[in-house]
Structure 1
Amino acid sequence: MKIGVYAGSFDPITKGHQDIIERALKIVDRLIVVVMNNPKKTYWFDLEERKELIKKVFGENNKIEIEEYAGLLVEFMEKTDANLIIKGVRDMKDFSEEMVYSFANKELSDGKVDTIFIPSSKDYTYVSSTFVKEVAFYNQDLDRYADKRIAEYILDRAKTYR
Structure 2
Amino acid sequence: MEKAVIYPGSFDPVTNGHLDIIYRSANIFDKVIVAVLENPQKNPMFTKEERVAMLKDVTKGIKNVEIDCFSGLLIHYMNAKNVKIIIKGLRAVSDFEYEFQMALMNNKLNPEVETLFMMTNNKYSYLSSSAVKQIAMFGGCIKDLVPDSIVTGVLKKTTLKNEVK
Bin the TM-score by the shorter chain: over 0.9
Are 2:36 and 1:62 aligned?
no
Which residue in 1 is equivalent to 2:161? 161
Give the distance between the partners of 1:102 and 1:144, measured in 2 at CA.
Answer: 30
Question: 5 Å matches for 1:39-54?
Answer: 39-54=40-55
Percent of residue pairs identical: 35
Give the distance between the partners of 1:71 and 1:28, measured in 2 at CA.
Answer: 25
Which residue in 2 is equivalent to 1:85? 86
Give the distance between the partners of 2:153 and 2:99, measured in 1 at CA.
Answer: 30
SS of equivalent to 2:28? coil
Deviation of 1:126 after TM superposition, in Å, equals 1.0
Are 2:25 and 1:16 aligned?
no
SS of equivalent to 2:149? coil
Give the distance between the partners of 2:11 and 2:144, measured in 1 at CA.
Answer: 17
Give the distance between the partners of 1:77 and 1:41, measured in 2 at CA.
Answer: 21
Q: Which has the higher helix share?
A: 2
Give the distance between the partners of 1:20 and 1:115, measured in 2 at CA.
Answer: 14
Give the aligned residue type for 2:149. Answer: R
- Please tell me the root mean square deviation across aligned C-alpha atoms, in Å: 0.9
Deviation of 1:133 after TM superposition, in Å, equals 0.3
**Structure 1: runs of 5 or more not aligned:** none
Give the distance between the partners of 2:18 and 2:3, measured in 1 at CA.
Answer: 20
Are 2:126 and 1:129 aligned?
no
Give the aligned residue type for 1:149. Answer: S
Normalised by the length of structure 2, the TM-score is 0.94
Give the aligned residue type for 2:31. Answer: R
Which residue in 2 is equivalent to 1:105? 106
Normalised by the length of structure 1, the TM-score is 0.96
Which residue in 2 is equivalent to 1:114? 114
Give 4+ residue runs of structure 1 displaced > 3 Å after superposition. none
Could you report, residue by residue, the CA deviation over 1:5-28 in whole angstroms, capped at 9, with x for unpaired residues?
000000000011001111111221
SS of equivalent to 1:45? coil
Give the distance between the partners of 2:149 and 2:83, measured in 1 at CA.
Answer: 30
Which residue in 1 is equivalent to 2:35? 34
Give the distance between the partners of 2:73 and 2:156, measured in 1 at CA.
Answer: 32
Stretch of structure 1 that moved more, 134-143 or 75-84: 134-143
SS of equivalent to 1:35? strand
Deviation of 1:35 after TM superposition, in Å, equals 0.2
